[in-house]
Amino acid sequence: MTDRRSRDEERDKPSREEEQQRREDKERREHKERRSDELKESWRRNHPSEPEEDEGDRWGKGPRA
């Protein structure tokens, strides 16, 4: 009986390693997605689609005198 258990444990060992690898891959993907979302939000906050009124001169496109 002991031999059978050891063979079963050896057979299960790779699947445990594969499961660990899958978990690590999932965590890495989630981290990358979170980081990407954070960077997109930061970009959106710092690069508004329309410049504010008093920022017109800042880019040299303000009213001419």
Spans of all domains in the chain = 1-37
Amino acid 23: pLDDT: 97
How does DSSP classify residue 9? Answer: H
CA-CA distance, 13 to 32, in Å (whole number)? 29
Amino acid 59: pLDDT: 60
What number is the average pLDDT over the span 12-23? 88
Q: What percent of the chain has pLDDT over 70?
A: 57
Amino acid 22: pLDDT: 96
What number is the average pLDDT over the span 12-27? 90
| pTM of the shown model | 0.51
DSSP states of 12-61: HHHHHHHHHHHHHHHHHHHHHHHHHHHHHHHHHHHS-SS--GGGTGGGT-
Q: Could you tell me the pLDDT band of residue 48, with boundaries at 50, 70 and 90?
A: confident
